[in-house]
Structures are given as C-alpha cells and as structure tokens.
Amino acid sequence: MRFLMVHRIDESAPDAYDPSPEVYAGMGQLMGEMTKAGVLLAADGALHSSKGARIRYSGGKRTVTDGPFTESKEVIGGFAVVQVRSKDEAIEWASRFAEVIGDVEVEVRQLDDQPAVG
Amino acid sequence: MPVAHRNALIDRVTGSDTHRAIDAVWRIESARLIAGLARMMRDVGVAEELAQDALVAALEQWPESGVPRNPGAWLMAVAKRRAIDLLRRRERFDRKLTELGHELETDQGATPDIEIGDIEDDLLRLVFVSCHPVLSTDARVALTLRLLGGLTTDEIARAYLVSEATVAQRIVRAKRTLGDAGVPFEVPRGDELADRLPSVLETIYLIFNEGYAATAGEDWMRPALYEEALRLGRVLAELMPTEPEVHGLVGLMEIQASRTAARTGPSGEPILLLDQDRARWNQLLIRRGLAALDHAEALGGAMGPYALQGAIAACHARTRTADETDWPRIAGLYDELGRLTPSPVVELNRAVAVAMAFGPAAGLELVDALLAEPALKAYHLLPSVRADLLAKLGRRDEAQREFERAASLTRNERERTLLLDRAAACA
C-alpha cells in the first residue's frame, strides 16, 4: 500500500527553508535509509510559498491567488510517497522524518490504488 | 526463550500504540538484525531466534520506556548481548567436553565474528543464503519472505493458501538443509555469483507473480506479495548497484505494477493489456521502471532476460494508445528473449507480436509450429491465440473449434464464457 506523507511548516520561522547542517545531514541519511529499505518512491521539498499559488474554482469561475500565503499559519513544506506494508509502518517512517526536522506535523494519507468501482 | 512462551507473549501484548510501533519497527529492522546476527552465529536459525528474543525484550520494555530514538540499534545491542552469552555458554560446554577427554567435532578454527560489521554486506549474504539453489523454490520463497520480508508464518500461509503448519515445516526444513549442506554465510564471487544470482532473481519474481496473479476479493496478503517482491527488488538494487539484471528485474516489476489499477474491471473481471485504460496506469511507477531499465542498459545489460522482458513492458508503457504500439520492436525483443531463454511460452508470445506486426498469417505459422509442443498441451492460450488468428484470416470453422478447445482448457470461469461467446460468433 502506498502512502503520501506531507509535512507542514511555519514559514515565518527563520530556519523554515534554511535547515541547520544537522537537520540537513539527518534528512539525507533518512532518505538513504528509506531508499535502501525499498520504501521510498518519491520525495521533494517545496520552495517558499511566494513562488507558488492557490487556485480556487467555484461557480464556474477561477480565482488565482499568488503566494506568499501570509494568511496561513502553516504551509506545505514537502512530500514523500512511500510503499509500505501497513499504516503503522508509514507512521514509523513519518515519525523518523518528524524526529529529524524537530518541530513539525506530518500528515500520512493512504493513496488509492484500487481499480475503479463503477 | 521457548517458542511457545515467546509467541504467547507477543500475542498478549499486541494492540496498544506502542505495540503497533513495535510491529512496524520489526518489519523495518528485522532483516538487518537477522543478517548481522547470522554472520556472528553462522546460522540463520539461531540468528532468527536471537532477533526474536530482542523483539520480546522490546515488547517487555518499550511500553514502559517508550520507543527508543534508534530502535534498530537498540534491538541489535540486545540481540548481540544475547549472542555473546550464547557463545560463552557454548565455549564453556566445549571446554568441559575437552576436559572430559572428548574430541571436539566442531570446527575450532572458526572464531565467531562478534563485531558489528557492514550490515549491507550481511544483508546481501542473507539474500544469497535464503535463495540458495540447494533449497526448493517453495523453501526459498518461504525463507525469503520470513527472513528478508519479516512476514510471520501465518502471513506467508495466507498468501500462499496453504496451512501455517506447512509453511512452518518448509522453513524448519530449509534451515536444516542449509545446515546439512554446510552453506557458508557469504556472497558468492566471480563465476559463482553469475551462477547464483539467477536463483535470487527468480525467487523474487516468483513472489511478485504470485501476488500479481491474485484476484480481487482474495485475502489481502496475496496481492501484498507483489509489493513485497517489488520492495525486495529495490533493496537488492541498492545492495548490488552494478548488476544490470537486478535493475532489469526491478524495471520489469515497476512497470507491471504500474498497471494494477487498470487490470481489473468494476466487478473484478480481468482486463487485457491492450484494452486497459492507460490513464489509470501509475506514471510514477512507470518512470521508476523506465529509469531502472535505463540503468540496466547503461551497465551493458540491455540484453539480459529480465531487462528484455522489462523492455517489452516498457514498449507498452511508453505508448499512449494501444493502436500506436510498436509491434515490430516487440517482436524483435521476443526474438532476442527466445534466443536467450528458449521456451514454448516465449515463442507463443513472439507469435502474437509477429501477428500484430506483420499480419495474422505470419503469426499463425509460428503458432502452428508449436502444436506438437508437449509443454503446451493443456495450455489454453495456445488454442485461444490460434483461434484468434484463424478468425482474422476468415477461417471461421477452424477458429470456432479452437475457441471451443481453449474454453475447455481454461480454469477461469469468466474466460470460459468469453471464449465460448467468441466460438459462437464464428458459427
């Protein structure tokens, strides 16, 4: 089963996009471990929300709001897609990820790879 | 600790959050743990017991203390301590025997290696021991899932639709066979590596196919097998980055797995490759598969049997609609595959590709040459392919008879119905 792991960060924190050498090294090591364990399918970190946008579609009309998302306390900091054997295993990897970053919330969501139900 | 006591303890404490975490840690760490211990003890059976003892210690202590920061290292430290105790007890016993005037039959020269070495090397050794050709394929599969996959005997039994006792017995026998044959805990080198690697790749691909063949509604452990095989393949590619066929196998499995959501219909009926909705193919897995095949090619291994099968799968994965399929290329790849690993099934697949590329008459010629093949006597796809080609050539009577013969040979109800419908349409 595949899971999406998304973590949210407080962009206003000074080290939000400038991790300490320890965090940087720890993240590299963890990604290596996840690759060696055969579970990591994809992962990337997001750049500052000023480089992004939000698109809302409603009533046939689209509204594009360019970043930064100053009204949001936390923004998406990055994602990983893992293929594991249980939700508990996804939680364990997410915990190790959170431990490296230090102060963060990671959301773990199972991805749908079931055939279409019609 | 006696096995019964250990199992009772594990049963009693499952459920709470800590135990869910311990279960996950076990799945992540057990193979490395067993691998490191197997090098120390020169015995995978003893290594597994020591690893499980460490797990029991975790079950006893972590609910109180919390999960340690580096759970893998914690488990290894506990297991290593017990390994050393065990070795000391054995040494004392051996000394007693010597004092009593007995000749030692064990090899005194081999000093156990209690240092924690390179765990990656140990893991690779464990892969080669679990997939050793001295073992039957059933035994290799069971041992691989157990020692490298961290699956329980019950999970393996459910996945293979056999009893737990059967699996337990296979594992016990496998360990005994390894011991009796004196299989060393090492990675083969040079020519021996070339001889032994196919047995490893075959074991992983067998597990993959067992899971891939599972149908909707079956116990979830069965489809879980293909994901486990894929994971083992990826682990192996990290352990042996310069072996092209490992990347070839991973590429093949990633691309096949990319079709999972498209290969069955709403009521669980199988959908053939050319009829699948390609928008449902998983592009992430396709990209990973293509990258693995590029890797195999860059290492000079584009013509290995798994890389070739991967290349055939890649031809489909790269093509946006079934009509655009590059059949001449696929036929050419089957030519190569048939030369490398001749088999009637490969030849039948080649015939299909040739028919798609160069017309039904060219394909039928190849299929007709297979009619006397004993290995395909009861294989429903032979008459089924032949019927299809005959129908395309307008030879309706013969096509009808072949569709009927194919229907009588298939064990799949849905397929039988489909074949009988096609037979009726020829009348």
Please say whether the beta carbons of B251 and B292 come within 8 A.
yes
> B184 and B216: one domain?
yes
In whole angstroms, what is the distance from residue B255 CA to residue B122 CA? 29
Number of domains in chain B: 2
* Residue of A85, A112, A117 to mutate, testing the B interface (most B Cβ within 10 Å of its Cβ): A85
Residue A35 near chain B (CB below 8 Å): yes
Residue B378 — φ and ψ, nearest 5°?
A: -105, 15
pLDDT of residue B7 exceeding 50: no
Residues of chain A neighbouring B21 (CB-CB closer than 8 A): 88, 91-92, 95
Domain termination residue (choose one: B64, B99, B134): B99
Counting residues of chain A whose pLDDT is more than 90, the rounded percentage is 78
Task: Tell me the per-residue pLDDT of B365-423, one tens digit each, with 9 for 90 and over.
Answer: 999 999 999 989 889 999 999 999 999 999 999 999 999 999 999 877 777 888 999 99
Residue B396 lies in a domain: no
Most A CBs within 10 A among B17, B20, B29, hence the mutation to make, goes to B20
pLDDT confidence band for B87 (50 / 70 / 90): confident
CA angle B411–B417–B418, rounded 5-degree value: 105
Q: What's the pLDDT score for residue B12?
A: 42
Please state, in angstroms and as integers, the Cα–Cα distance from residue B104 to each residue in B42, B92, B95, B179, B257, following that order: 18, 13, 9, 18, 53
A32 Cβ under 8 Å from any chain B Cβ: no
CA distance linking residue B361 with residue B339, whole number of Å: 22
Asked if the model's pLDDT at residue A118 lies above 70, the reply is no
Give dist(CA B341, CA B221) in Å, integer. 31
Q: Which amino acid is at B364?
A: L
Does A37 contact B227 at a Cβ distance shorter than 8 Å? no
Q: Verify that B87 and B127 share a domain, yes or no.
A: no
Is residue B251, in this structure, part of any structural domain at all? Answer: no
Is B378 within a domain?
no
Q: Looking at the DSSP assignment, which residues form a beta bridge with residue A110?
A: A3
Q: Is the pLDDT of residue A28 over 80?
A: yes
The answer to whether position B84 is within a domain reads yes
User: Domain residues for B37?
Assistant: 3-99
Residue B301, in any domain of the structure: no
Q: What is the chain A residue with the closest CA to B31?
A: A37
- Chain A residues in contact with B282 (beta carbon < 8 A): 113
Indicate whether B9 pLDDT > 60: no
Angle, CA A43 vertex, CA A42 and CA A45 arms, to 5° = 155
Q: What is the interface pTM, i.e. ipTM, of the complex?
A: 0.90
- Of the candidates B51, B19, B46, the one whose C-alpha atom is nearest the C-alpha of residue B32 is B51
- Say if the Cβ atoms of A88 and B260 lie within 8 Å: no
Residues in chain A closer than 8 A to B270 (CB atoms): none
Facing A116 at nearest CB: one of B239, B266, B285: B266
pLDDT of residue B115: 59
The 10s digit of each residue's pLDDT in B297-350 is 999 999 999 999 999 999 999 999 999 999 999 999 999 999 999 999 999 999
Do B148 and B182 fall within a single domain? yes
Residues B140 and B202 in one domain: yes
φ, ψ of residue B18 in degrees (nearest 5): -60, -40
3-state secondary structure chain B: CCHHHHHHHHHHHCCCHHHHHHHHHHHHHHHHHHHHHHHHHCCHHHHHHHHHHHHHHHHHHHHHHCCCCCHHHHHHHHHHHHHHHHHHHHHHHHHHHHHCCCCCCCCCCCCCCCCCCCHHHHHHHHHHHHCCCCCCHHHHHHHHHHHHCCCCHHHHHHHCCCCHHHHHHHHHHHHHHHHHCCCCCCCCCHHHHHHHHHHHHHHHHHHHHHHHCCCCCCCCHHHHHHHHHHHHHHHHHHHCCCCHHHHHHHHHHHHHHCCHHHCECCCCCECCHHHCCHHHCCHHHHHHHHHHHHHHHHCCCCCCHHHHHHHHHHHHHHCCCHHHCCHHHHHHHHHHHHHHCCCHHHHHHHHHHHHHHHCHHHHHHHHHCCCCCHHHCCCCHHHHHHHHHHHHCCCHHHHHHHHHHHHHHCCCHHHHHHHHHHHHHHC
- Give yes or no: residues B191 and B134 share one domain: yes
Q: Are strands A40-45 and A53-58 parallel, antiparallel or unpaired?
A: unpaired
> pTM value?
0.89
Same domain, B76 and B124: no
Q: Tell me the average pLDDT across A41-60.
A: 95
Which one of B233, B256, B273 terminates a domain?
A: B233
Q: DSSP label at A22?
A: H
- Sketch the domain layout of chain A as residue ranges: 2-110
Are B140 and B213 in the same domain?
Answer: yes
A117 has a pLDDT exceeding 50:
no
Among B66, B99, B132, residue at a domain's last position: B99
Q: CA B353, B358, B363 angle in degrees (round to 5)? A: 55
Residues B58-82: pLDDT tens digits? 999 998 888 888 899 999 999 999 9
Of A83, A114, A80, nearest to A98 by C-alpha is: A80
Domain A2-110 top-level CATH class: alpha beta
Question: Number of Cβ pairs closer than 8 Å across A and B?
Answer: 71
Q: At which residue do the structure tokens 């001749």 appear?
A: B342
Q: Do the Cβ atoms of A91 and B24 come within 8 Å?
A: yes
Question: Domain for residue B216, yes or no?
Answer: yes
A115, B285: Cβ pair inside 8 Å?
no
* Planar angle of CA B272, B286, B281, nearest 5 degrees: 40
Mean pLDDT of chain B: 89
Query: Can you tell me the mean pLDDT for B19-36?
Result: 92
B150 and B219 housed in the same domain:
yes
Tell me the chain A residues in contact with residue B23 when contact means C-beta distances shorter than 8 Å. Answer: 86, 88
pLDDT at B13: 44
Query: Which residues in chain A are closer than 8 Å to B246, comparing Cβ atoms?
Result: none
- Both B133 and B229 in a single domain? yes
What's the gap between Cα B222 and its chain centre? Answer: 12
Residue A30 pLDDT: 96
Phi, psi (degrees; rounded to nearest 5) at A57:
-120, 120
| Least CB–CB distance from B260: residue in A88, A92, A113 | A113
Q: What is the pLDDT of residue B359?
A: 96
- Say whether B265 and A113 touch across the interface (CB within 8 A): no
Chain B CA closest to residue A98: B69
**Contacts of residue A38 in chain B, CB cutoff 8 Å?**
230-235, 238
For the domain that residue B72 is a member of, what is the CATH number?
1.10.1740
pLDDT band at A72 (very low <50, low <70, confident <90, very high): confident
Any domain includes B239: no
Q: Are B135 and B174 in contact (CB under 8 A)?
A: yes
pLDDT for B271 equals 85
Residue B188 lies in a domain: yes
